[in-house]
Amino acid sequence: MQNRRPASLNVVPKDTIGATWALPEGAIARFGKGEVDHGNVKVSPDGTYFAVGTGMGLWWYDVPSMSPISLWETKRGMVNSIDFSHDGKWIIIDTSDGIIKILDVQSGACATHIEGHNASAGLACSSNSKWIAIAASGLVKVLDIHSDACVAQMDRGAHEFQSNVCQLEFSPDGRFLAAATPSNPHTEDPQTYDGIQRQVKQLSSLRVEILPFLPTVVCWQVRLLMRL
pTM, to two decimals: 0.77
Rounded distance between C-alpha atoms, residue 81 and residue 183, angstroms:
21
Identify which of 81, 111, 110 has the alpha carbon closest to the alpha carbon of residue 98: 81
* Per-residue model confidence (pLDDT) at position 46: 92
Rounded distance between C-alpha atoms, residue 33 and residue 70, angstroms:
12
The helix (run of H) or strand (run of E) holding residue 200 is: helix 196-200
Centroid of chain to Cα 153: 17
Name 134's Cβ contacts closer than 8 Å, sequence gap at least 6: 81, 94, 100, 117, 118, 119, 122, 123, 140, 141, 143, 168
How does the average pLDDT of the chain come out, rounded?
76
38, amino acid identity: H
* Per-residue model confidence (pLDDT) at position 65: 93
The stretch 78-96 carries a mean pLDDT of: 92
174, amino acid identity: G
Identify which of 142, 176, 151, 182 has the alpha carbon closest to the alpha carbon of residue 164: 182
Rounded distance between C-alpha atoms, residue 143 and residue 131, angstroms:
5
Give the domain ranges of the chain.
Answer: 1-116, 118-228
May I ask the CATH class of domain 1-116? mainly beta
Identify which of 136, 15, 30, 120 has the alpha carbon closest to the alpha carbon of residue 74: 30
Rounded distance between C-alpha atoms, residue 130 and residue 127, angstroms:
8
**What are the pLDDT digits (tens) for 18-65?**
999 999 889 999 888 888 875 588 999 999 999 999 988 999 999 999
**What are the pLDDT digits (tens) for 146-193?**
888 888 877 655 444 455 666 788 888 877 787 776 653 322 233 333
| pLDDT of residue 225 exceeding 60 | no
**What are the pLDDT digits (tens) for 196-215?**
333 333 333 333 333 333 34
